[in-house]
Structure 1
Amino acid sequence: MRLSLLRGWKVRTGLAVLGFFVLLALAGPLLTAAVPGLDPRANDLAAIGLPPGPGHWLGTTQFGQDVLAQTVEGARGSLFVGFLSAAIGTGLAILVGLPAGYFGGRTDAWLNFLSNLFIVMPVLPLILIVAGYMQGTGLWVIALVIGFFGWSGGARTIRAQAMSVSNRDFVAAMRTLGEPHHRLLFHEVLPHLTGWIAAMFLHGVIGGVMAEAGLAFLGISDSSAISWGTMIQAAQQQSAVLRGMWWWFVPPGLCIALVATAATLVNFGVDELANPKLRTARRSVVRRAERTTAPDTAPDTAGSDAR
């Protein structure tokens, strides 16, 4: 399955782009510290609002800060929020959805009630209220808030899939043989949900990065932290669009779009591998294409037989 997953161009392209940004986030502080002039917090009063050029490859902001240095540093903050919020949301979805779908009965009723309660809640206003109340506490709190309020839809999906797998013959046979519930949950049911969980995690990464950018754009974020969202928010506050300073907001916006596109490509590849219907459809398309492009040798064979 891993080899089949890596053969697809979508997965390879998505993993390459995601790997680049993850490497940039991990090695960003070392890079900005090693290269002179790449301090994201330094103010160069002699270079205020400069367009991209030799001294500053992506230009400078209205405060004389290097846009390239801030973009590199912003990758660390945005991806931190995206991955942490996705991990929290996916973990809560598994903890609620897996036992609800497996055990059923009262367990399913209570856990399903909890999922429905979070689904009908106005999530965005709640995030705005909580994040605004805890303003200035850093990216940790932003990631925790996004992850805590973003698990309910995934829990419903995990519940439905766990209920389907739990009713299959091999699980019923092992339950009859006396296998403990924890072994059935984590060794029989959960492995069949890895495709859904991976897709849910990647969707959570996209949602976390977008939510952080949205909260920062609305001013509900730590002003001292540097992320792609805070860069766009600072550009909006200083009227960068009206001043024609496109180099201030285009790089962080393009990075957000690239991360979202890469995660979506990987998600498509995982879905094609995990979904049997898509696998069957993909194989049928390949066979049809091979039949269409294959040379027609029937007339030659018939002519040789006649001779």
Structure 2
Amino acid sequence: MSTTESPPPPVPADVIKSSGSERPQSARAIVWFRRRAAFGAFCRSYAKHTSGVIGLVVLLAIILATVLAPLYTDRADLNAATAPGGRMESPSGEFWLGTDRTGRPILTMIVWGARVSLQIGLTAAVIAVAFGTVVGMVAAHYGGWLSWLLMRVTDWFIVLPAFILSIALVVALGSASKWVIITAIALNSWATTARLVRAQTLSIEGRPYLERTRALGAGDWHQMTRHVLPNLMPLVLASATLRVSAAILSEASLAFIGLGDPRSFSWGIILARAQAEGAVSYGAWWYVLPPGLAILALVLSFTLIGRTMESVLNPRLRDDR
């Protein structure tokens, strides 16, 4: 993905202060006005993409259902010793999505499990994208042997089978706790971002205004944080959104094969328990289908949002017709 500079929006009259001659009231006021204008333009462009709007609505619905979970579910029902339902009850007016083998409501498990799946997906994606961004920027900015070394390590992580590497990392790091799974997924998914960021950083640092900045004596930190990173943000945001869906699928896959946190109720753990309790042979479709559809809906929503952000923020993919 590459970005091109567009002319800044005009400064409104209320940002101009007259004192003998017209001049900006403050540089901060102009910066914030331009940021608001850019955000407004982004929202208008995003709203033109039906798929992106659908993905955003689905994601907000899942987040709202998760945040409001204490209002319509009781977390105590997740305790098998106090589960209110009977074993493997089919959906009814009392238990909308049925119960599991110990009488726990499937709806309660899915709603509270969404918190775990979202936490793991978002945290792993943020760590992976942040680490990949730093590696890519450093490799592009300094070049030389450091760039060669960082890119060889990046290539090594790219060519390794992702799921096999995640399994190996979870086993090597010991207990399959939530943070061990997050660490394993993050270490497995930063390399692609590093490659993309390095290519984009090389393009940005070849622009004339970066050459002028260096000529005026700006240091490495100033160049990367004040000029390179802001231009990288569209790429970083789109990459982070797509990484979330991949992290959620990775967690569900690890949990399904028995490498999830047994103390949590992530959607992958629910599917693993359904398999262990013989839900398929019992014909308890309500134990398997709802968590699977929940994973599909969440992953699809992040994918649609990420693709739409990529289309809006990348001038080569933008459709202004």
TM-score band by shorter chain is 0.7 to 0.9
Q: CA deviation at 1:135?
A: 5.5
Residues 115-126 of structure 1 mapped to structure 2, 5 A cutoff: 115-126=154-165
Asked if 1:72 is matched to 2:111, the reply is: yes
Matched residue SS, 1:208: helix
* 1:171–1:119 Cα change, 3 Å: same
How many Å separate the matches in 1 of 2:72 and 2:210? 52
1:24 is aligned to 65
Contact 1:40 1:73 in 2 (8 A): no
Contact 1:25 1:79 in 2 (8 A): no
Q: CA deviation at 1:136?
A: 4.2
Greater C-alpha radius of gyration = 1
How many Å separate the matches in 1 of 2:235 and 2:148? 22
How many Å separate the matches in 2 of 1:268 and 1:230? 28
From 53, 75, 82, the counterpart of 1:12: 53
How many Å separate the matches in 2 of 1:144 and 1:30? 32
Q: CA deviation at 1:25?
A: 3.4
Residues 156-235 of structure 1 mapped to structure 2, 5 A cutoff: 156-235=195-274
* 1:19–1:277 Cα change, 3 Å: same
Gaps of 5+ in 2: 1-37
Please, what TM-score do these two structures have when normalized by structure 1? Answer: 0.84
Matched residue SS, 1:278: coil
1:267 is aligned to 306
Gaps of 5+ in 1: 287-307
Contact 1:135 1:221 in 2 (8 A): no
Contact 2:163 2:250 in 1 (8 A): no
Q: CA deviation at 1:241?
A: 2.1
From 37, 41, 44, the counterpart of 2:79: 41
* 1:54–1:135 Cα change, 3 Å: farther
Greater percentage in helix: 1
Matched residue SS, 1:39: helix
Contact 1:5 1:11 in 2 (8 A): no
> For 1:116-156, what per-residue CA distance to the aligned partner results, in whole angstroms no more than 9, with x for missing partners?
22223343223212313445442121111111221011100
Matched residue SS, 1:276: coil
- Higher deviation after alignment, 209-218 or 106-115: 106-115
Please, what TM-score do these two structures have when normalized by structure 2? Answer: 0.81
From 283, 297, 308, the counterpart of 1:244: 283
Q: CA deviation at 1:181?
A: 1.5
How many Å separate the matches in 2 of 1:184 and 1:71? 46
2:10 is aligned to none
Asked if 1:108 is matched to 2:147, the reply is: yes
How many Å separate the matches in 2 of 1:268 and 1:149? 22
Q: CA deviation at 1:39?
A: 1.7
Letter in 1 for 2:60: G
> For 1:182-226, what per-residue CA distance to the aligned partner results, in whole angstroms no more than 9, with x for missing partners?
111111111111121111111111011100100011011121211
Letter in 2 for 1:266: I
> For 1:48-103, what per-residue CA distance to the aligned partner results, in whole angstroms no more than 9, with x for missing partners?
11111111011111221100000011101111110010011001101100111122
Asked if 1:147 is matched to 2:186, the reply is: yes
Contact 2:85 2:104 in 1 (8 A): no
How many Å separate the matches in 2 of 1:26 and 1:106? 48
How many Å separate the matches in 1 of 2:312 and 2:122? 23
* Aligned-pair Cα RMSD in Å: 2.0
How many Å separate the matches in 2 of 1:135 and 1:45? 35
Contact 1:165 1:189 in 2 (8 A): yes
Contact 1:74 1:226 in 2 (8 A): yes
Contact 1:5 1:269 in 2 (8 A): no
